[in-house]
Amino acid sequence: MKLYTYFRSSAAYRVRIALNLKGIAWESACIHLVKDGGQHRRPDYLALNPQGLVPALEDGGQLLTQSLAILEYLEETHPEPPLLPAAALERARVRAVALAIACDIHPINNLRVLTYLRRTLGQPDDTVNAWIRHWIESALAALETMVAPTAGRCCFGDAPTLADVCLVPQLFNARRFDCDLDACPTLLRIDAHCRELPAFRDAAPENQPDAAV
């Protein structure tokens, strides 16, 4: 499979982790979101993915977009090891954690929104950084409450699920923006455990071919 990816995109990071956990062979097609005015805005990339976002995954000549749709696709086409439990209620709980990150934290803090705050609204860096911290810190505190009852070494028991696949990239972002994470000891413990696993380690931004030097 070929993954259109950017080392620091947390949505691409999710898919890299899942590909590794499933043991799927994949190669990187690096789309730099900053260089060249943003390679994701080039007509050839927009022709592949009209949203102009990363990641996108090519499998058998077909292009898939939206990281969570890609994760569900990988789960359906490569069921082992499972990243969702078997029972509908537990699946819903795992997906709720993944979606709380993918819908309610990440999109409000991604590059295009921060650029709009800076350039169109003329907000200074301090205000933009406070914006990021506000959304990440309040959302992670709620997530800590959601995850605490089911947490083992991972968010749901001891094996990684889609919740962990989304959590670890979000905590990478939180650290990058100096968020206060004192309210989420369980999430930090899970994150530390997961980042020791080879599938997560190999997917980390600093281990990608396009990582800034």
Q: Does residue 116 interact with its own copies by CB under 8 A?
A: yes
- Of 103 and 211, nearer to its own copies (C-beta) is 103
Q: Does residue 207 interact with its own copies by CB under 8 A?
A: no
- Tell me, letter by letter, the H, E, C secondary structure of the chain: CEEEECCCCHHHHHHHHHHHHCCCCCEEEECCCCHHHCHHHCHHHHHHCCCCCCCEEEECCEEEECHHHHHHHHHHHCCCCCCCCCCHHHHHHHHHHHHHHHHHCHHHHCHHHHHHHHHHCCCCHHHHHHHHHHHHHHHHHHHHHHHCCCECCCCCECCCCHHHHHHHHHHHHHHHCCCCCCCCHHHHHHHHHHHHCHHHHHHCHHHCCCCCC
Which of 2, 35, 134, 176 contacts its own copies by CB under 8 A? Answer: 134
Q: Does residue 104 interact with its own copies by CB under 8 A?
A: yes
- Of 69 and 192, nearer to its own copies (C-beta) is 69
Q: Does residue 106 interact with its own copies by CB under 8 A?
A: yes
Choices 35-43, 139-147, 152-160, 190-198; region in contact with its own copies by CB under 8 A: 139-147
- Contacts (CB under 8 A) with its own copies, residues 20-59: 50-53
Q: Does residue 111 interact with its own copies by CB under 8 A?
A: no
Q: Does residue 165 interact with its own copies by CB under 8 A?
A: no
- Using CA atoms, how far apart are residues 91 and 84, in angstroms rounded to an integer? 6
Q: Does residue 79 interact with its own copies by CB under 8 A?
A: no
Interface residues toward its own copies, by CB under 8 A: 50-53, 62, 64-66, 68-70, 72-73, 76-77, 88-89, 91-93, 95-96, 98-100, 102-104, 106-108, 113, 116, 120-121, 123, 127, 131, 134, 139, 142-143, 145-146
